[in-house]
Copies of this chain bind each other. A is one copy, B any other.
């Protein structure tokens, strides 16, 4: 008789609850594909009696997840709580130490403690799988670790956060401002009702960039400070002006090796409307890799939600059931390099600068003079009067300049009484 593989699910929110149902529904399918029988033997969450979409079996509910590990001894544990530390970390490390395979969609945990936890998994000869932590249902981690394994990857970038992509798309389509569209996103369940900040400020996408870059470049997860900007300051006005310029605003996560130094960032980008990435709309995610010899590869799919997340969680499960014991980051921990980082100051882009100014003579020249002083050359200027307020909007598209230079150049505009607010800066992506 085949041994039955015992499974525990810790955390029964949207994801954990959906996963519970999927595992029950797909038992037979999993058995056919892996040759192994599975059984859910334990569940744990904060609240046993909370109303859940899919009813759980309360006979296997335990309040303390650590006791599940020690007493029930499952073979495989799903961690779906989602904290970067605290109980999530404790559950995962205790499970690994007890030689229990762990599967998690927890990007906060992996991007922060992935090096430590993967070493722990290796030392205990079990798997730590986290496909669902990046880009939901898109199997991008497996693609990098396996499908493109021997390529020299030099860049990975894309739209890694469905919430912000939905908001930017919807602002453009509905002509409504950020706050209204955010409300809509919350009503639709695309943005967290309580605290949507981690999606909006780029943090969520950034955690994914850290994981992708560690995998793509075979290095330890970097800890250095990066340029991380979200979409909170994107105004409907910017979206409209971008539209006139045949551009779209997208929040991109980027990791790249530049002269053998690692560069990672998340910030809004202006991309051409006709490009592939300019046409990834709504809650869709897309990841683009550039590697040799394979060239450019694109993966697109639904980036969030319990369905796509479960798809990735179950693919991890199948991988473990099939006996594919692998290094969590593709290669052994001791082979993963510590890379040097690229100096953020040297990051160069064409810039979109929007100034709101008093409609007075000399204001435009004071701006262009300042740019000239910093050798930032202008590609395009559009000045539009805002009649009611006796002010004007000046949009300048510059040629390429470095972060440092741009920062120094723009600093002066903080204290210019003719410039009504500090200029909006959005980088162009080419």
Contacts and interface: CB of A to CB of B under 8 A. Distances in A.
Q: How large is the interface on A (under 10, 10 to 19, 20 to 34, 35 or more residues)?
A: 35 or more
Given A279-B279, A302-B296, A307-B294, A142 B146 contact: yes
Given A150-B311, A315-B147, A326-B322, A295 B137 contact: yes
A421 interface: no
Interface stretch (A27-35, A103-111, A358-366): A27-35
Contacts of A317: 150
Interface in A289-323: 291-302, 306-308, 310-312, 314-315, 317-319, 322-323
Most chain B CB atoms below 10 A, which of A18, A148, A294, A322: A294
A72 to B, nearest CB: 24
A150 B295 CA distance: 29
A142 B311 CA distance: 14
Contacts of A22: 150, 293
A149 interface: yes
A139 interface: yes
A307 B279 contact: no
Nearest to A21: B293
Most chain B CB atoms below 10 A, which of A30, A35, A146: A146
Nearest to A311: B294
A195 B308 CA distance: 43
A335 interface: yes
Interface of A: 18, 22, 26, 29-30, 32-33, 35, 131, 137-139, 142-143, 146-151, 218, 276, 279, 286, 291-302, 306-308, 310-312, 314-315, 317-319, 322-324, 326, 330-332, 335
Given A30-B150, A32-B332, A137-B297, 9 more contacts: A33-B150, A143-B143, A276-B279, A279-B279, A294-B308, A295-B307, A296-B302, A297-B300, A322-B326
